[in-house]
Structure 1
Amino acid sequence: MTAPAELDAAGITDPALRAAYTTCRELNARHGRTYFLATRLLPRERRPAVHALYGFARYADEIVDDLGDGRPVVEKAARLDALALELDRALDGALDRAVPGGAMGHPVLAALADTARRYDIDTRYFRDFLVSMRMDTTVTDYATFEDLAVYVHGSAAVIGLQMLPVLGTTVPRADAEPAAAALGEAFQITNFLRDVGEDLDRGRVYLPAAELAAFGVDRQLLTWCRRTRRPDPRVRRALAHLVAHTRAIYRRAAPGVGMLEPASRACVSCAFALYRGILDEIEAADHHVLHRRVTVPARRRAAVALPCLARAIVARTRG
């Protein structure tokens, strides 16, 4: 389904807003392959909102990483502060006047504000997200899971909470929120495990130091493994422990899929299986992943996506 058809289905007619949502969709297609694939399983009228939520997260993340590497910390922080002010203006403009496209500004923010208005998304989630992005400009490691939880709440748990109004639930939203937050957390820690080498290159270690130290691992050893591309049994045991920890979070999140509206379940089931599949790939590599970024092979992605697509079609037909 093309982007214009999705926008038509969502009732987005303002030309500037359509362009804003298209920008978000392009960001999702370019940077979030797994996420974009899963989004295609949603009813077409819900897809633009998901693209807007992803687009905002990606835009903020680029300030910290892709667009900010090599720049002074103070510059990254200043750009995030400016983004926070732009966000407030966009949300106030779209929410107070309830006019689609009431605050154009940056296209990503315009689409986000419109989505927040349409789905009555709690705007504190967006501000919590920026708090975590701000942490990335000053915090380079985390002592314990408790310390990491502050970051993960804003960078990931709130993403699941933002998505709930778009996906819809068959139970009171408050009942579905713990599982939605857990799924965001599971996705984020999966990313930490997959990207541990790349994060090291940026000067960060998201894996809690206490968990690593229990296996005799520290930043110096991780850096050595990254540089030499040599495996180390201590690192393998530490990562195996953290993979098991992450699988437990997926188990906490799993009941939430059944709480979603039937039309949304296939999308989340697909994302759930594909992200959890990254853990399988880490294990298949015997946890020797510091020198490369593991991915789910295209054949497996298709094997996961096709049954989900069939379920999505059935759900839409029944709907």
Structure 2
Amino acid sequence: MIRTVESEHHVPAPVLAAYSYCETVTAQQARNFAYGIRLLPAAKRRAMSALYAFSRRVDDIGDGTLAPEVKTARLEETRAVLARVRGGGVAEDDTDPVPVALGHAADHFPIPLDGLDELIDGVLMDVRGETYETWDDLRVYCRCVAGAIGRLSLGVFGTEAGAHGADRAPEYADTLGLALQLTNILRDVREDAEGGRTYLPADDLAKFGCSAGFAGPVPPPGSDFAGLVHFEVRRARALFAEGYRLLPLLDRRSGACVAAMAGIYRRLLDRIEREPEAVLRGRVSLPGREKAYVAVRGLSGLDARHAARGTVRRRVR
């Protein structure tokens, strides 16, 4: 039976230690997500940190310098660990704190752990060096590496009892994940190119004369790079608009968490839109004080109310 509330005193000491490790990983490495996760009550914060730590491990394998065949083997080993978590085969005193924490979180929240299998599938796409002809192709990848994270997180957040449209919450969570991932892709276009990766759809690149790629700090000769960026920004904004319908379905603290994480990425998207070529000169980011401000807005409900008003306006147009 899944319990959703548990006192600190009922969490075994080895499990609390495992959670503490995951929270440290989250605080040190989740440059944007940590601001939202901090707004959650303790049990949900710990569960989200466990999800992040496991996901970070998968991503680090994909982004590392190992040979592709070694990465593939490591990812399948990680999938086997996930299968042990799913089957309840991880002991509280296991020497690896991440599956200990994840297993405990999955026992107390209805987390759809299959989403982590999807994440592994998405990272394997990176390892194979897959490219994407169309947005529909890229959407499949984004659903694996980000939409799945949205649905996993929803398992921790839950929805408000009696919330109208709650049955569509997984769809909205998935779509919000796509919005965040497309923003990531725009932000990292130069860094990914230097690593031999191209994520933006080939037909979009061709449409704007950018098929030559982004190996340097200036756009390809004769290209309309700004046009390409603005095109993708509009796509991301549409995804944000749809995904933000999730917020009214969540309790206040969970809604604040999502509003903070999504708000940071929306502001990042605004910055990219204002100066498209900046992404070719280096990673575009927000200062810590601005991220903290967005988190405060999320906790106050300002972003949730703003998103809800935007949804209403879109419906009446």
**TM-score normalised by L of structure 1:** 0.85
**Residue 199 of structure 2 aligns to a residue in which SS?**
coil
Segments of structure 1 that go 5 or more residues without pairing to the other structure are 1-6, 95-99, 313-319
What is the aligned partner in structure 2 of residue 222 from structure 1?
214
What is the aligned partner in structure 2 of residue 34 from structure 1?
32
Give the direction of change, closer, same or farther, for the CA distance of 1:10–1:195 in structure 2 (3 Å limit): farther
What is the aligned partner in structure 1 of residue 135 from structure 2?
145
Q: 1:154 aligns with which of 144, 147, 150?
A: 144
Q: 2:68 aligns with which of 52, 70, 73?
A: 73
Question: Cα distance, 1:10 vs. partner?
Answer: 5.1
Question: Cα distance, 1:311 vs. partner?
Answer: 4.8
* In structure 2, distance between residues paired with 1:305 and 1:86: 34
Question: Which AA in structure 2 matches 1:87?
Answer: L
Question: Cα distance, 1:296 vs. partner?
Answer: 1.5
Segments of structure 2 that go 5 or more residues without pairing to the other structure are 303-317
Give the direction of change, closer, same or farther, for the CA distance of 1:128–1:286 in structure 2 (3 Å limit): closer
Q: 1:275 aligns with which of 253, 262, 265?
A: 265
What is the aligned partner in structure 2 of residue 200 from structure 1?
193
* In structure 1, distance between residues paired with 2:171 and 2:180: 14
Give the direction of change, closer, same or farther, for the CA distance of 1:267–1:155 in structure 2 (3 Å limit): same
More displaced, 239-248 or 283-292? 283-292
Give the direction of change, closer, same or farther, for the CA distance of 1:9–1:212 in structure 2 (3 Å limit): farther
- Summarize the alignment of residues 208-287 of structure 1 with structure 2, pairs less than 5 Å apart: 208-218=201-211, 220-223=212-215, 226=216, 229-231=217-219, 234-287=224-277
Residue pair 1:28, 1:54 contacting (<8 A) in 2 also: yes
Question: Cα distance, 1:160 vs. partner?
Answer: 0.8
Q: 1:180 aligns with which of 164, 173, 176?
A: 173
> What number of residue pairs does the alignment pair up?
293
* In structure 1, distance between residues paired with 2:290 and 2:16: 34
Residue pair 1:190, 1:279 contacting (<8 A) in 2 also: yes
CA RMSD of aligned residues (A): 2.2
**Residue 142 of structure 1 aligns to a residue in which SS?**
coil
**TM-score normalised by L of structure 2:** 0.85
- Summarize the alignment of residues 36-51 of structure 1 with structure 2, pairs less than 5 Å apart: 36-51=34-49
What is the aligned partner in structure 2 of residue 317 from structure 1?
none
Q: Deviations over 1:44-92 (max 9, x none)?
A: 2310001011111111000111xx22x2111111111111112112221
Identical positions, percent: 33
Question: Cα distance, 1:8 vs. partner?
Answer: 8.2
Question: Cα distance, 1:161 vs. partner?
Answer: 0.7
